[in-house]
Structures are given as structure tokens and as C-alpha cells.
């Protein structure tokens, strides 16, 4: 192996996951997902090491863990998503699920009571 590639040999999926576990469980899940999405896990090493650099040089470990948790919550556990979340400060905000719209109230809309009455009248007619 060329000397320029020998430093890469020390990185293994187990080493990356062990490091990610020191940050937190969400970081570990993001790194697992990044490596699992590749044909070869080694193809995801640069992104995982990018998260490593974010946690050790740029941002606090707690912020990186919160960003990873948010990336998982929005179903986008990728390096690019983690960077965007950190850059925009979204890791500090609680992730609120979208509120369901209130039920529509209108005279022409039948509710569950209508169908219960209809079901009851059909059962009475069937008994006759």
C-alpha cells in the first residue's frame, strides 16, 4: 500500500462506530446509516470523519449529537443534513411535528354518528 494510503488503513467501520458512540447514540446511528447506504462501507468514511471533525474542531459535541438526532427525526441521516442543521442553528430548536388540521365542520359532511345510525337501522330491517 502506498505511504499516502497507509493512514487510511487504520480507519475501520468498527473504529468509526466506536468513536461515534463516544459522542452519542444518534451520532452512531448517522454513521451506521452513512456506511450502510454505500456499496462498500469505506465509501462513507470521509463523511463520517467529517462529522468527527465537526465534533472535535468546529462545534460542541452536544450540538453535533443534537444535530444528528434531528437529522434522524427528519429521515435524513446524512453528513450534508447534519452540517446544514448546525449551520442554521436548528439543533437548538425542538423539532415539533406538524399539527394535524382540525376536522372540517359543515352541514353536508356526515360524521360517525350518521353511519352508526345507518348501521343500526340496517340491523333492525334485517331482523324483520
Mean pLDDT, rounded, of the chain: 82
Tens-digit pLDDT profile for residues 81-103: 999 999 998 888 877 766 777 77
Find, among 19, 53, 5, 13, the residue nearest to 34 by Cα. Answer: 13
Quick one: how far is CA 15 from the chain centroid? 22
Residue the block writes with cell 449551520: 87
Quote the CA–CA distance of 11 and 68 in Å, as a whole number: 21
Tens-digit pLDDT profile for residues 40-88: 888 888 888 899 888 888 888 999 999 999 999 988 888 999 999 999 9
Amino acid at each position: 500500500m502506498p505511504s499516502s494510503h497507509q493512514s487510511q488503513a487504520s480507519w475501520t467501520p468498527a473504529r468509526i462506530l466506536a468513536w461515534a458512540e463516544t459522542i452519542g447514540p444518534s451520532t452512531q446511528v448517522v454513521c451506521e446509516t452513512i456506511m450502510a447506504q454505500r456499496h462498500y462501507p469505506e465509501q462513507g468514511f470521509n463523511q463520517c470523519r467529517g462529522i468527527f471533525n465537526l465534533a472535535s474542531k468546529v462545534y460542541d459535541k452536544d450540538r453535533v449529537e443534537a444535530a444528528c438526532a434531528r437529522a434522524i427525526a427528519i429521515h435524513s441521516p446524512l453528513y450534508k443534513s447534519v452540517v446544514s442543521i448546525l449551520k442554521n442553528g436548528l439543533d437548538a430548536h425542538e423539532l415539533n411535528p406538524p399539527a394535524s388540521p382540525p376536522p372540517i365542520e359543515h352541514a353536508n359532511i356526515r360524521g360517525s354518528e350518521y353511519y352508526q345510525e345507518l348501521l343500526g337501522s340496517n340491523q333492525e330491517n334485517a331482523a324483520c
